[in-house]
Amino acid sequence: MTTYTATVTVRLKHGVLDPEAETTKRALERLGFELDALRFTEQYEVDLDAESAEVAEERATEMADRLLANPTIHDYDVVVAEA
Amino acid sequence: MTTYTATVTVRLKHGVLDPEAETTKRALERLGFELDALRFTEQYEVDLDAESAEVAEERATEMADRLLANPTIHDYDVVVAEA
B23-35: pLDDT as tens digits: 999 999 999 999 9
Give the pLDDT mean for B68-75: 95
CB contact under 8 A, A36 and B3: yes
pLDDT tens digit sequence for A33-82:
999 999 999 999 999 999 999 999 999 999 999 999 999 999 999 999 99
A29-52 core/surface letters (b: 16 or more CB in 10 A; e: else): eeeebebeebbbbbbbbbebebee
Residue ranges of E strands in B1-83: 2-12, 37-50, 74-82
| A79 vs B contacts (CB less than 8 Å) | none
Residue B20: φ, ψ to 5°: -65, -45
| A24 vs B contacts (CB less than 8 Å) | 44, 67-68
Rounded Cα gap, residues B22 and B56, in angstroms: 35
| A31 vs B contacts (CB less than 8 Å) | 66-67
ipTM for the whole complex: 0.87
Q: Which of B27, B31, B63 sits opposite A28 (nearest CB)?
A: B63
Could you say which of 3.30.1280.10, 1.10.150.570, 3.40.50.300, 3.40.50.720 is the CATH number of the domain covering B2-82? 3.30.1280.10
pLDDT tens digit sequence for B43-54:
999 999 999 999
Judged against a pLDDT cut of 90, whether residue B38 lies above it is answered with yes
